[in-house]
Amino acid sequence: DTAVSQTPKYLVTQMGNDKSIKCEQNLGHDTMYWYKQDSKKFLKIMFSYNNKELIINETVPNRFSPKSPDKAHLNLHINSLELGDSAVYFCASSQYQGMDGSSGNTIYFGEGSWLTVV
């Protein structure tokens, strides 16, 4: 049973195309995230949704649009793909971190989606 699953795992597409990566979690979490592994191999957050509401939106081109139809899904749509969009994209989920200092909920990641733009 995969807790956080994302599809497709591999995607090769041409520049200018529009593509989507889907993510689903079966952990009952209320918060989901998209991270991108950059050219220096760092994982960096792109978006976060809590109960279908956007709570984090880092400096990401507006060609990237997340959509959360329900708490268990957070899909990433990318319009007009560019060569520089080639990367590994990771979906993740957790319970909301909470307000008190003792909270620190585990964030669970999917296996990543390898996007190659040619």
Output b/e per residue, 72-97; b: 16+ Cβ within 10 A: bbbbbebeebeeebbbbbbbbbbeee
Site string for another protein, 76-95 (x = CB under 8 A): --------------x---x-
| Sheet with 19-25, side-by-side order of all strands | 4-7, 19-25, 73-78, 64-70
Of the residues 27, 45, 60, 72, which one makes contact with another protein according to CB under 8 A = 45
Candidates 25, 48, 68, 75; binder of another protein (CB under 8 A) is 48
Q: Which residues of the shown chain bind another protein in the complex (CB under 8 A)?
A: 4, 31, 33, 35, 40-45, 48, 55-56, 90, 94, 96-99, 101-112
